[in-house]
Structure 1
Amino acid sequence: MRKSPGKALAAAALAIGLSLVGAAPAGAVKGGVVDAGRGGADQTLAYGRTICYQADVIGLGWQNAVCNGAVAGSVGQGQTIGALRFVTGSWFGLCARVFMAGGTNWEGWSCADDGKYLQVGIPGHYVAVQAIEFRTDSGPMGIRASLSGSGWLGWSYGGNVWTGVGEFRAFEAFAVNPNPGSGS
């Protein structure tokens, strides 16, 4: 089955992000997925992990990929996020689920191995992400979000982390730190 051009471009953007942080060599896209590897001598982050991610901002589309604690989305512009994409290096898998505006339940869990992108939410629609939860067995991580009308929430850390729960406000921006205690 042939990958859609949008998926191939998203994987390429995330591969570039991973190469910038030393988690994967430039051009590490094979068949529309990122080959992030399982670590190695070029890993400089604590835990040897990296994560790149991008936001589908409602009305603007997919934004550029960022990595390791950088902010994705649009801060203070009143633009909300409808979907999120992640790709990891040296995590040995990541799972996520989201709670969407107007929903009454969490969406089901989505999981991906290293080098394959994980997408949650509804890209291209006008339904905003209001909360996200992550699950990983590869050690602690951190996440924070900027919510519409209220600004940034503090960092949440652990092996099973979430942000935005009970706030009922749309995400405008978010950041993920694969290395808690590294100053974020």
Structure 2
Amino acid sequence: MRTAATAVKEVAARSEGRHICYRAYVADHGWQDPVCDGAEAGTVGKNLPIKALNIAVSGTKGVLGNGAHVVEGWLTGSRWSSAAEGVDMYLGSTKEVVSPLEGFTLKTVEGTVCPNTHVKDKGWLRQGCTEPAAWRYFGSDMAKDKLQLEAVRITV
């Protein structure tokens, strides 16, 4: 199975610069194929939540993040994930007992990362970018909405 790391290594071999590849684990469907540099992962208009994300980068010196869940919020334990360049990082959970993602925090070690999220009943939210090497949350409003994440587009 191709992961985000496999895809980002292929893209980096073809094209210099910064790249991000990712794939979504969609409820009732499993892992999708990886996409890169702003392409859409997940589904739109099918009411299918994203349970987990697999992310890998090149040209950023690594990526860090955490997934927030509709019911559990930030999971306890080892919440923050990180990965060096060309290595898979996972956010969320594929376990059936864990609720879908409602959003995530993300940052790259160098430069910025710019996700856009599609949330149930809200559609595509405005794309945002981190400040260099700073955290930022993307997705459903954790304080009031608690809506599932359904699709993402991410650039670096």
Bigger RCO (CA 8 Å, 6+ sep): 2
- Return closer, same or farther for 1:66/1:130 CA change in 2, 3 Å cut-off: same
Residue-by-residue CA offset, 1:85-136 (whole Å, 9 max, x unaligned)? 0111111110010111211435511000011100111114262000100122
Whether 1:73 and 2:42 are equivalent positions in the alignment is: yes
Whether 1:24 and 2:13 are equivalent positions in the alignment is: yes
Deviation at 1:154, TM superposition (A): 0.5
Residue-by-residue CA offset, 1:121-171 (whole Å, 9 max, x unaligned)? 111426200010012231112011101111010011123222124331100
Deviation at 1:16, TM superposition (A): 3.8
CA distance in 2, matches of 1:84, 1:104: 16
**RMSD of aligned residue pairs (Cα, Å):** 1.9
Map residues 1-184 of structure 1 onto 2, 5 A cutoff. 9-11=1-3, 14-16=5-7, 18-19=9-10, 21=11, 23-24=12-13, 42-43=15-16, 48-105=17-74, 108-125=79-96, 127-158=99-130, 159=132, 160-164=135-139, 165-166=141-142, 167-178=145-156
Of all paired residues, the percent bearing the same amino acid is 27
What is the TM-score when the length of structure 1 is the normalising length?
A: 0.73
For the 8 Å contact 2:5–2:57, the answer to whether it is kept is no
Q: Name whichever of 140-149 and 102-111 sits farther off.
A: 102-111
CA distance in 1, matches of 2:23, 2:73: 25
What is the TM-score when the length of structure 2 is the normalising length?
A: 0.85
CA distance in 1, matches of 2:69, 2:58: 27
Runs of 4+ that moved beyond 4 A: none
Would you say how many aligned residue pairs link Structure 1 and Structure 2?
A: 147
For the 8 Å contact 1:18–1:52, the answer to whether it is kept is no
Whichever residue aligns with residue 171 of structure 1, its letter is: L
Find the residue that maps to 1:15 and give its secondary structure: helix
> Structure 1: where are the runs of 5+ without partners?
1-8, 26-41, 179-184
Find the residue that maps to 2:74 and give its secondary structure: coil
